Chains A and B, each alone.
Chain A
Amino acid sequence: MPPPEPRAAIFLRSVRTVFLKDLRSELRTRYAVSALLMFVVTTIAIILFSLGSESASADALSGMLWVVIFFAAMSGLSRTFVMEEERGTTLTLQLTAPPAAVFFGKLLFNLALVTGINAVTVVLYALFITGFVIRTMSIFVVTVALGSIGLAAASTVIAAIIARANTKGTLYPVLSFPIMLPLLLSVIEATRKASEGAFFGEAGGEFQLLISYIVVVVVSSSMLFEYIWKD
């Protein structure tokens, strides 16, 4: 008789299965990716038309980049839980997987989604919005990476909360905004520093805040998720 598998290995297999299930489902339906890409393209086009030949400050352009990223996340990241609720598969997941595995699997999927979309958003924004120049690339790359993790972490747990509400579409950005405000203020400030050519160390305060935010959100979400997830 083979020795029993360690609990950690069983848990990681559950997490991987939740992640791969969502990824394969998304590759077949392309629901969230299509919604997110359409949103990004439309919003950048609107910014482009409204700016016209005007030149905006680094402050304003950094802020607008994160406005696009925030609302793109709001338009697609809730799908991971809302789809389960709409299809009636929440009970199926509750029956078969431990709550923590569902949370971390969904978090990984949202992280993959938001990383891909943010990469496309940044490339399109840099290509089409004249005047948006990054002078310190290292600050910008770390900011986008930490911002993506923070967005994915906060949006995953908020999506789990709103999935059972009747007014999901309205509630999601409204509930997300105050929770994500510290994240948004930090990434906007760090992006401004990157576009102004600041030294890497000058953005240390923002990075510390972002890392703290991610740790607090992930730890508290994983502790609270069981109560959100079970009826």
Chain B
Amino acid sequence: MTGAILCTGRDIRKDFDRRSVFRGVSFTVGTGETLLITGRNGSGKSTLVRIICGVLAPTAGSVALTIGGSAAAHMHHLAGLVSPYLQMFEEFSPMENLQIAAGLRGTAFDGKRAAGLLERVGLPGRLNDPVRTFSSGMKQRVKYAFALQHEPPLLVLDEPTANLDEEGVAVAREVMADQRRRGALVVATNDPGDVATFERSVDLNAAP
């Protein structure tokens, strides 16, 4: 996986039953850029995030990913997601969760790198405790390690600072800045303090 990433959404519409959540949403985000998704509660931010990550099919329109100009197919190698509704395997420790994530993606597990990643997100000393014993803020930190383990060219953050304390927010900002240097970043939030700079934006309140 080498080369610049480009994620393009074209005229996306999503209906649940007969109700249209949003329609006509288009965007592009590439390496070194941030796409900011905003909108009131229920406007479909998380729905759009799931569509971008490839786990929810749009009713109409499409999301396409290219790496170095070639179409990319296997989304689970390309995207990393942090969100309040993403859950870790709680009967396992953070280290085991990262080991499982590597195995699920079919890649080899690097224990040293995983330990370094967990330390980077601020979980030293709790690497082998079950995640179910963690606070919501600590679980959010594990999600960051889980999303970053395979160095995804596309990092998608839904409410990136949810449940985090001051130190955690600083870690999240550092992760975002780092991602902008090596790939594309998508942030869905209503908190203007979450994103320092962004090049592209989608306002779901304004979606037709």
The answer on A and B forming one complex is yes
For the complex, give the distance between the alpha carbons of A91 and B80 in Å.
Answer: 12
Against A, the Cβ 8 Å flags (1 = close, 0 = not) of B67-95 are: 00000001110010100011111111000
A87 to B81, CA, bound (A): 17
Q: Is B55 an interface residue (CB 8 A)?
A: yes
Whether B57 contacts A230 by the Cβ 8 Å rule is: yes
Cβ proximity bits B93-120 to A, threshold 8 Å, 1 near / 0 not? 0000000110111110000000000000
Let me know if B90 and A96 touch, CB within 8 A: no
- The answer on a CB contact under 8 Å between B91 and A25 is yes
A231 touches B57 (CB 8 A): yes
Neighbour of B55 across the interface among A17, A18, A21, A94, CB < 8 A: A94
User: Which B123-182 residues sit within 8 Å CB-CB of chain A?
Assistant: 146
The smallest beta-carbon distance between A86 and chain B, in angstroms, is 10
Partner of B76 from A17, A20, A89, A98 at Cβ < 8 Å: A98
Dominant secondary structure of chain A at its interface with chain B: helix
Do the beta carbons of B100 and A95 come within 8 Å of each other? no
Interface centre among B55, B57, B81, by most chain A C-beta atoms within 10 angstroms, is B55
Knowing A13-B106, A18-B104, A97-B105, say if A230 contacts B86 (CB, 8 Å). Answer: no
B92 to chain A, nearest CB (A): 8
* Contact status A230-B55, CB under 8 Å: yes
B60 in contact (CB, < 8 A):
no
**A166 lies within 8 A of chain B by Cβ:** no
Q: Binary interface profile of B, 46-57, with partner A (CB < 8 Å = 1, else 0)?
A: 000010010111
User: A96-B76, A98-B74, A231-B50 are contacts. A91–B87 as well, Cβ < 8 Å?
Assistant: yes
How far is it, in angstroms, between the C-alpha of A24 and the C-alpha of B89 when the chains are bound? 11
User: Is A135 interfacial (CB 8 A cutoff)?
Assistant: no
**Which residues in chain A, 1-53, are within 8 Å of chain B measured between CB atoms?**
5, 9-11, 13-14, 16-18, 20-21, 24-25, 28-29
Q: Any chain B CB within 8 A of the CB of A170?
A: no
Distance in angstroms between the alpha carbons of A20 and B103 in the assembled complex: 10
Residue positions of B touching A, CB distance < 8 A? 50, 53, 55-57, 74-76, 79, 81, 85-92, 100-101, 103-107, 146
16 pairs, A vs B, C-beta closer than 8 Å: A10-B106, A14-B105, A17-B100, A17-B103, A25-B89, A25-B91, A88-B86, A88-B87, A89-B87, A91-B55, A91-B85, A92-B89, A95-B55, A96-B104, A230-B55, A230-B56
Closest 6 CB pairs of A and B: A17-B103, A10-B106, A88-B87, A97-B104, A96-B104, A94-B55
Residues of A in contact with B (beta carbons under 8 Å apart)? 5, 9-11, 13-14, 16-18, 20-21, 24-25, 28-29, 87-89, 91-98, 101, 230-231
- Apart from A13-B106, A14-B106, A95-B76, list 12 A-B contacts with CB within 8 A: A11-B106, A14-B104, A20-B103, A21-B92, A25-B92, A88-B86, A89-B89, A91-B86, A92-B89, A95-B55, A97-B76, A230-B55
